[in-house]
Structures are given as structure tokens and as C-alpha cells.
């Protein structure tokens, strides 16, 4: 068994990260195959994500999962809301009996600096160019810290995308970092304004893992 991390957010909502070290046959004992995933490693990630749903809530009806046109997996009767993410050998899932949820995990890498203009709005980009980042420059710290925070924002926006579930979102326009980031112990509270049809304040919760270097972000509301 390779549960890497579990956090019970409240009595209705649980989150977990699985370290994938088992063969496909292990997951297939529990997970019914509904969608043919041809690439073997992607299939393993897919199976591990599904497995984790039933690990968190043993009565999760895996065989009833449907896939929407947007590719969001869901249960018709909404007995559980859930969201899945994979990254390398890790699969994450969040499951709630009460709230809509979204989760994302990402590996921290320098590549994020090249992608950032695609998901940062103008105001957000200016936040990352202010005195704070110049201060980090002086100490030669900017590169890594910058990449960590950019990855966290990217992860947060992917979690919001999954929470919303209906697709067709512009990451620069429809979700904007708004307000102060709050750090409490290992957790980071990241306030967003989600505005697809009308403004909705959303609090994304994130945390960094050091070994492996991962960001985790989730929405539950
Ligand atoms: C769907 C998407 C969020 C998946 O993210 P990813 O980092 O590629 O992959 P992850 O492993 O984190 O997530 C994959 C899981 O997301 C879930 N998913 C897929 N589409 C989804 C949707 N529309 N809503 C909610 N969840 C979805 C699935 O559970 C999938 O895993 P599964 O197929 O094994 O069940 C991503 O591919 C995407 O389309 N993002 C939006 C693209 C975009 O608009 N980018 C513009 C900014 S640069």
C-alpha cells in the first residue's frame, strides 16, 4: 500500500495522494475499466486515481462513474463529488459528500516560467514583478521561489478548472488572484475571484511538498 499523504478536510471531505508503485493488476482488482487508456503509464495513473477514490471512501461506487463531454468524471446521483489529478508517479484525489471540489498536483520545474504568460493575467503578472521578487533577486533566490509560486498559481487554476467542470475557461480572464495570500502552518490560502458569468470569490488551499517537489492545490465549496 502506498498512500503518500492523506488529509481529512472535514467530516464530509477527504483528500489523498497515492505513490504509484504497484502493477496495474493491483488496481484492477478494485477498479472497473470503463475507458480504454492506451498508453500504459497513463493507464496506471488513471487506475491509481480511481483506486484512491475508493480508498478514501470505501463505499464510492466506481462502476457508476460517467464522463461528461468536457471529460469531467462525475456520478449521476452526486452521492459523491470528486476530482482527480496525476503527476509522474503520484495520483491525487479529493472526494466530498457535500461540496463541489477540484484538485491538482504539479511538479515544480523551470518550464513554468515559459508557460506563465498563458495563465497569468496582467495584474497577477505585475504581482510577480514587484519589489518582492527584486528583493529575492539580490539573494539569488528568485529563480526557485518564483518557480514554486508560479507552479502553485498554475495548480490552483487547474483545480478551479476542475471544480467548475464545464470547460471553456480562460485562465487569464476568468480566474484572478485577488487579495492577500495567507500562510498558516503548512497551508497556503490563495484567494481568487472566479468570474465566468458572475463574480464568485473562491479560496484555494495549497501546500508544497519537498520530497518529491510537488504543489498540491484544492478547492472545496
Ligand atoms: C483537464 C485538465 C485540467 C487536466 O489537467 P492535467 O494537469 O492535464 O491532468 P491531471 O492529471 O491533473 O488531471 C487529469 C484528470 O482531470 C479530470 N478531468 C478531465 N477533464 C476535466 C474537466 N473538464 N473537469 C474536471 N475534471 C476533469 C479527470 O479525472 C482526469 O483524470 P482521468 O482521466 O484519469 O479521470 C487539463 O488538461 C486542461 O484541459 N486544462 C485546461 C486547459 C486550458 O484551458 N489551459 C489554458 C491555460 S494555459
Q: Give, as one character, the DSSP assignment of residue 221.
A: -
The single residue listed with the C-alpha cell 503518500 is: 4
The CA distance from 60 to 65, in Å, is 10
Same domain for 127 and 81, yes or no, is no
Judge whether 182 lies within some domain: yes
- State the average pLDDT for the chain: 93
Residues of the domain holding 179: 109-201
- Whole-number Å distance, alpha carbon 87 to ligand 1 midpoint, is 11
- Whole-number Å distance, alpha carbon 164 to ligand 1 midpoint, is 11
Mean per-residue pLDDT for 125-139?
A: 65
Same domain for 62 and 82, yes or no, is yes
Q: Is residue 140 predicted with pLDDT exceeding 70?
A: no
The CA distance from 106 to 88, in Å, is 9
- Whole-number Å distance, alpha carbon 158 to ligand 1 midpoint, is 7
Judge whether 26 lies within some domain: yes
pLDDT (0 to 100) of residue 130 = 64
Judge whether 220 lies within some domain: no
pLDDT (0 to 100) of residue 124 = 85
- Whole-number Å distance, alpha carbon 46 to ligand 1 midpoint, is 12
Same domain for 130 and 93, yes or no, is no
Q: Give, as one character, the DSSP assignment of residue 63.
A: G
The single residue listed with the C-alpha cell 467530516 is: 11
The strand ranges marked E within the chain are: 3-10, 13-19, 65-67, 73-75, 81-87, 90-96, 101-107, 175-177, 182-184, 187-195, 199-209, 214-220
Decide whether any atom of ligand 1 lies within 6 Å of the 46 Cβ. yes
Ligand 1 pocket, mutate which of 39, 71, 220 (most atoms under 8 A from CB): 71
Which pLDDT band, with edges at 50, 70 and 90, does 137 fall under?
low
Q: How many domains would you assign to the chain?
A: 2
pLDDT (0 to 100) of residue 1 = 63
Same domain for 16 and 86, yes or no, is yes
Decide whether any atom of ligand 1 lies within 6 Å of the 84 Cβ. yes
CATH at residue 89? 3.90.470.20
- Whole-number Å distance, alpha carbon 122 to ligand 1 midpoint, is 24
Q: Give, as one character, the DSSP assignment of residue 42.
A: H
Decide whether any atom of ligand 1 lies within 6 Å of the 106 Cβ. no
Amino acid at each position: 500500500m502506498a498512500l503518500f499523504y492523506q488529509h481529512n478536510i472535514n467530516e464530509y471531505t477527504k483528500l489523498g495522494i497515492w505513490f504509484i508503485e504497484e502493477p496495474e493488476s493491483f488496481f484492477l482488482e478494485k477498479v472497473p475499466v470503463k475507458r480504454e487508456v492506451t498508453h500504459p503509464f497513463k493507464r496506471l495513473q488513471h487506475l491509481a486515481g480511481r483506486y484512491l477514490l475508493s480508498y478514501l471512501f470505501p463505499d464510492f461506487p466506481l462502476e457508476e462513474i460517467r464522463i461528461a463531454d468536457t471529460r469531467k468524471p462525475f456520478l449521476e446521483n452526486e452521492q459523491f463529488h470528486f476530482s482527480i489529478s496525476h503527476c509522474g508517479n503520484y495520483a491525487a484525489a479529493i472526494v466530498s459528500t457535500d461540496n463541489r471540489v477540484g484538485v491538482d498536483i504539479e511538479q515544480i520545474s523551470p518550464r513554468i516560467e515559459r508557460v506563465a504568460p498563458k495563465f497569468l493575467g496582467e495584474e497577477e503578472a505585475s504581482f510577480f514583478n514587484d519589489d518582492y521578487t527584486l528583493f529575492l533577486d539580490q539573494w539569488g533566490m528568485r529563480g526557485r521561489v518564483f518557480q514554486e509560486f508560479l507552479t502553485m498559481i498554475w495548480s490552483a487554476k487547474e483545480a478551479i478548472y476542475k471544480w467548475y467542470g464545464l470547460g471553456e475557461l480562460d485562465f487569464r480572464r476568468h480566474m484572478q488572484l485577488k487579495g492577500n495570500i495567507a500562510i498558516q502552518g503548512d497551508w497556503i490560502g490563495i484567494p481568487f475571484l472566479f468570474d465566468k458569468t458572475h463574480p464568485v470569490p473562491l479560496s484555494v488551499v495549497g501546500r508544497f511538498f519537498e520530497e518529491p517537489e510537488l504543489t498540491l492545490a484544492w478547492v472545496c465549496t
